[in-house]
Structure 1
Amino acid sequence: MRWWDIEPVLALEQELFPEDAWSAGMFWSELAHARGLRATRHYTVATAPDGGVAGYAGLAAAADGTGDVQTIAVAPAHQGTGLGARLLRDLLTAATAFECHQVLLEVRVDNPRAQRLYERYGFAPVGVRRGYYQPGGIDALVMRREHTGTPADPADGPFGLTGTPADPAGAPAHPARPEPGKTAHG
């Protein structure tokens, strides 16, 4: 994800998460930590064949070797196409580059489709955060994956994933960190 992606990403963010959408400032903050040798964030955008944003995803890496999926979002017209899985694999590739030994995420307890996706990629439930998603106080299921490498790459399909390439030291040059209570739109 680059600065010029923020506006179309915000439009999709508002469409998908109208009550708790991230702000432009949150994305700018995340992208500020996504470049250079000390990058701790990785954000990617999936572009549809028509050039529009089909989805996006982000990962934050901590110094302790933990990766945290910040967000995965797929436009309604592209849901069910495998794009969510491609975005997740991209984040797991970034986690490998960041040398993360585990990856965490939160997902709404009322989103079994996303939970099944995460389980297919080795995530297992480790706890619940009561009232995490606002408004409405929906609980978040916390899931963890012991990270031992990146799953096999998918076929490219019709989407192009764009992000910042890894820097020479091996750390991806992009991810981001949301404000408290804003992680992993699952």
Structure 2
Amino acid sequence: MTVHRSSSGSFEQRARVRPLERTDLLSVMELERLGHSHPWTQATFLDCFKPNYRLFGVEDERGELIGYAVIAYLVDEAHLLNICVSPNAQGRGLGRWLLRHLKAVALADQMVQMILEVRVSNVVANALYLSEGFSEIGLRRGYYPDGNSREDARVMALRFT
């Protein structure tokens, strides 16, 4: 899948979504370190290469990985576990575009809904999910590590039917 986006009149981005492979792990780990305060380990990513997981990468026009997402399928539910866009590519609509791709794939795979957790302090991500039709269905207290303490996670869901 290829996208051609213009933002602010001057930015042109060509990107494509493709399945992630184990050979992408070094690039994924670098993005993970840049994009998350408490990054997943390499072992965690390796554990996701199973039949009930969907791992996608976003490449720019040079073939460089600039984003990724990991989803676990549990019966008829798609659980978005991790989504990340390179800090250099943020604010250009790629996160929204990737999320829409994930929703389309989950729907095509006959999932009934998509759920996710998001830090309550992540205002940008919360706004994105709300604008894409997700609604808050719960709160997980102390879900995310946050320095010496823990941060709550907003649980959000989007029903496809």
Gaps of 5+ in 1: 34-38, 149-186
Alignment partner, residue 23 of structure 1: 41
Larger RCO (CA within 8 A; separation ≥ 6):
1
Match of 2:159 in 1: 146
- Give distance in 1, aligned partners of 2:111 and 2:43: 26
Q: Which residue of 2 aligns with 1:10?
A: 29
**What's the secondary structure of 1:70's corresponding residue?**
strand
Which is worse superposed, 48-57 or 121-130? 48-57
Deviation by residue 1:39-64 (Cα, 9 ceiling, x = unmatched): 3111111112233221111111111x
State the TM-score, normalized to the length of structure 1. Answer: 0.71
Alignment match, 1:171: none
Q: SS of the counterpart of 2:57?
A: strand
How do 1:61-140 and structure 2 match up within 5 A?
61-63=73-75, 65-135=76-146, 136-140=149-153
Instruction: Give me the whole-angstrom Cα distance separating, in 1, the residues matched to 2:153 and 2:79.
Output: 14
**Structure 2, unaligned runs of 5 or more:** 1-19
- Provide the rounded CA distance (Å) in 1 between the counterparts of 2:30 and 2:23: 13
Q: String of CA shifts for 1:93-145, please: whole Å, max 9, x gaps.
A: 22113311111000110111111111121100111111111033111000011
Q: 1:12 Cα shift?
A: 1.0
Matched-pair identity in %: 34
Q: Does the CA-based 8 Å contact 1:61-1:98 persist in structure 2?
A: no
Aligned residues: 140
Q: Deviations over 1:52-91 (max 9, x none)?
A: 221111111111x111001110111111111001111121
2:80 aligns to what SS in structure 1? strand
Q: Which amino acid in the other structure matches residue 103 of structure 2?
A: L
Scaled by the length of structure 2, what TM-score is found? 0.82
